[in-house]
Structure 1
Amino acid sequence: MMKVSPESVGLSSTRLHRIDKLMQCCIDKGICAGGVAMVARKNKIVYHESFGLMDIKRGKPVQKDTIFRICSMTKPIICVAIMMLYEEGYFQMDTPVSRFVPEFKNMKVIKQINDKDFRLVNIDREITIHDLLVHTSGLSYDIHTEELTYRLNLSKEKFEKEHSIGEFIKILTTLPLAHQPGEKWSYGYSTDVLGYIIEVISQKSLRDFLKQQIFDPLGMVDTDFFVREDKHDRLSELYTFSEEHGFVLVESGVDYRKKPLFCSGGGGVCDFGSGLVSTAEDYIRFAQMLLNKGELDGNRILGRKTVEFMTMNHLSSNLLPMITDKSRPYDYEGYGYGLGWKVLLSSAQAGIIGTNGMYGWGGNARTEFFIDPKEELIALYMTQCIPYQQIKEFQTVVYQALID
């Protein structure tokens, strides 16, 4: 992807460099220690800058090719991979997951009786592939809703040791669902299950499938489930921030400098699960493929109609707005959900400038991307600080730079 002047594709250089000020402000406020931001329009790079530090102790600045843990920005890649198999006819959207993982056949569901008591009931219907793609399966993360305290207590002993992805999925089938399939939108382990289904269908490891079918064709040379030894010095440290101590190094349970047993298709929420690492340059190539309706540099990953299907809203109105935590809902007002990402339905309702139909997602270590098909626009930032906090102003600063 060639770098050109912003004006040549309808953006203002002066306005675009307001991103510089925004990112420095984020560093000053403790939102991140450093990061990379990129913007592309009409298949051309118009902005690519790095900010701050990737290693505070050593005073090491972030570089444009710094490698970041992208956590849940793994999910869109997994969804593209499973849709490649959909195109080959291995399943339909309403195919039961139990066809590939029989243990999902007879799941139980948590039913809350009162504030403290729960009971288990049978599922009304089986979980489908579509449920996994849009997070209506009931395989919710244990951190989001108060009724899942019960489920979390059940899972603690079972998740104590390291597992392969297959072993992990089999454990999930022994835990009750947070709700009936299709009843709610609840963000969670659904994409991990998709990752395992990719292994079952392809008879390859998830890592090998992604490398052969997506990363190599798209030239995503730095994207993997771990960082090779010759690239260790490019991996950013991970931080958290407090007013008392400032930026504090996070001693993560995941060592991204060695090959993991569990390659988490969902992004590594469990301490032993490794989501993907990537660079801004790699991920923008993945995003450009999507904007191009499935193709980049002559390599077709998906068909045009498949990408169109993935990028439309798949949630009915009774499932909107998407809320993951009743006490702290994310900023999903005005958004629907496609097959792997949120989709903007109403810029006015969301309360931020944008284009209806734009789509994208983020990761727990404060990474984010969005794609706007109508404006032929892609933007992303990658930082390395937890817990998740969206830099919502980034979208505003990118859009205000459009001048054509």
Structure 2
Amino acid sequence: AYDPEGGMPVFATGFGDGEVNTLSGGGGLISTGHDYLRFAEMLRRGGVLGDVRLLSRHTVSLMTSNHLPGSVDLATLGPSAWCETSFTGVGFGLGFAISLNPAQSMLSASVGDFSWGGMASTYFWCDPKEELSVVFLTQLLPSSTWPSRKELRALVYQAIVD
């Protein structure tokens, strides 16, 4: 992250100072809410951040398409763990859950929106059809403690006024 006033990098301290004893590809990522939202917006806008293209439109299309064998949903491949949702009606792209059938998933969603959550109930989703990007940062363990993601989606979609 960068300090908006002075343009100097802001570094987290205290993380990663010791020996690594667990290899966890997505564990312990560090960002600010502002930067995470910028990242989500870039993805929602097809790889463009501001006036700069960071990813090709084709790359983002591949990332946000279901790549599960036979175009099945995640629930077909096994039960969800660490999550309050069942993954019925939800596919998987290159790094994201993809809404295939909102009625089956019982989530407020648009077909093709994409999302992912973190272990402590953090969550982001992008809905290109509604021109919507959401980042939700919390620290609730385990994620299955409360259906915060499902409730957040319902609240956000109910607030949309056409």
TM-score range, shorter chain: 0.7 to 0.9
Give the gaps of 5 or more residues in structure 1.
Answer: 1-214, 229-254, 269-274
Larger Rg belongs to: 1
Higher helix share: 1
**C-alpha separation between the residues in 2 aligned to 1:260 and 1:338?**
33
Count of paired positions = 151
The alignment's C-alpha RMSD in Å is 2.9
Contact 2:80 2:87 (C-alpha < 8 Å) held by counterparts: no
State the shift of 1:301 in Å.
Answer: 1.9
Aligned to 1:355: 110
State the shift of 1:354 in Å.
Answer: 1.4
In the TM superposition, what whole-angstrom CA distance separates every residue of 1:230-250 from its partner, at most 9, and x where no partner exists? xxxxxxxxxxxxxxxxxxxxx
Q: Which has the higher contact order (CA 8 A, sep 6+)?
A: 1
Aligned to 1:267: 26
**C-alpha separation between the residues in 2 aligned to 1:265 and 1:303?**
28
**C-alpha separation between the residues in 1 aligned to 2:18 and 2:52?**
28
In the TM superposition, what whole-angstrom CA distance separates every residue of 1:155-182 from its partner, at most 9, and x where no partner exists? xxxxxxxxxxxxxxxxxxxxxxxxxxxx
Aligned to 1:365: 120
- Give the 3 Å change call, closer, same or farther, for CA 340–325 of structure 1 in structure 2: closer
**C-alpha separation between the residues in 2 aligned to 1:262 and 1:292?**
37
In the TM superposition, what whole-angstrom CA distance separates every residue of 1:335-365 from its partner, at most 9, and x where no partner exists? 0000001000011111122100000100001
Percent identity between matched residues is: 38
Moved over 6 A (4+): none
How does the TM-score come out when normalised to structure 2?
A: 0.79
User: Which of residues 15, 26, 41 is equivalent to 1:256?
Assistant: 15
Contact 1:323 1:330 (C-alpha < 8 Å) held by counterparts: no
Aligned to 2:156: 398
Aligned to 1:299: 52
Larger displacement relative to structure 2 (369-378 or 275-284): 275-284
State the shift of 1:319 in Å.
Answer: 4.9
1:277 partnered with 2:17:
no
Contact 2:46 2:60 (C-alpha < 8 Å) held by counterparts: yes
In the TM superposition, what whole-angstrom CA distance separates every residue of 1:3-35 from its partner, at most 9, and x where no partner exists? xxxxxxxxxxxxxxxxxxxxxxxxxxxxxxxxx
Q: How does 1:4-403 map to 2 (within 5 A)?
A: 227-228=12-13, 256=15, 258=17, 261=20, 266-268=25-27, 275-317=28-70, 319-320=72-73, 321=75, 322-324=77-79, 330-389=85-144, 390-391=147-148, 392-403=150-161
Give the gaps of 5 or more residues in structure 2.
Answer: none
